[in-house]
Amino acid sequence: MDKKVRPENRAFIMAICAIWVAAFLLATPNASATSEKTYAQKDRSEEQHAEGAPTPGESATHIKKVLKHASDIGLSEEQRGQIADIYVKAMGESASINAQIEVTISAFMALYKQGKVNEEAIRDYSGKMGDLRGRFLFNNLKAMNDVKGVLTKEQRETIHKIYKTHGKK
């Protein structure tokens, strides 16, 4: 059975597909690591690393780097424990948010497959995804800031020197 898509529906279907693809890319953990960065993002990222600053999407990498170089920056056992706790809490929250993102995408796709997507459904879906992505970013930035609060000024300077010297290693 050959069904033709009416021209007035074609734009709507293409918009839904674009939203779905964008949502999928946003929901994929480390999407920036698996997809090509734009030149502006790449330049900004390289500039921040040259200054010794991690980028917001790299909070897990940054925290692991601090723990990896614990001896080099002179972390005490108490600091190691505090940073490890921050890492575990942040990763748990990130996993929870990612699961909620997947559920939200699945629910929207079910509506789409049933032909029940309308402007209100798109608005609701977009709002939920925006809230979830905002929570994800907040969680990452808070974790990085919490780790910064555990480190002394000298330790922060040392980790920034390591970023300048070794980049993302």
In whole angstroms, give the CA distance from residue 137 to residue 65.
19
Place of tokens 């290693």: 169
| pTM for the whole structure | 0.64
In whole angstroms, give the CA distance from residue 87 to residue 115.
42
Range of the domain at 70: 57-169
- Residue 89 within any structural domain of the chain: yes
- Residue 106 within any structural domain of the chain: yes
Number of structural domains (the chain) is: 1
Residue 8 has pLDDT above 60, yes or no: no
- Residue 21 within any structural domain of the chain: no
- Sign of the dihedral through C-alpha 103, 13, 127, 29: positive
Amino acid at the residue 13 = I
Q: Where are the alpha helices (DSSP H) in the chain?
A: 7-27, 31-34, 39-50, 59-68, 70-73, 77-113, 119-150, 153-166
- Residue 14 within any structural domain of the chain: no
Place of tokens 């809230």: 131
Tell me the pLDDT band of 160, cut-offs 50, 70 and 90.
confident
Over the stretch 17-29, which tens digit does the pLDDT of each residue have? 566 655 555 555 4
Rounded to a whole number of angstroms, the CA Rg of the chain reads 21
Local structure of 30: helix, strand or coil: coil
Q: Please compute, for residue 168, the number of CA atoms within 13 A of its CA located in the half-sphere on the CB side.
A: 12
In whole angstroms, give the CA distance from residue 48 to residue 42.
10
Over the stretch 106-118, which tens digit does the pLDDT of each residue have? 999 999 999 999 9
- Residue 44 within any structural domain of the chain: no
Which two structure tokens, joined as six digits, stand for 131?
């809230």
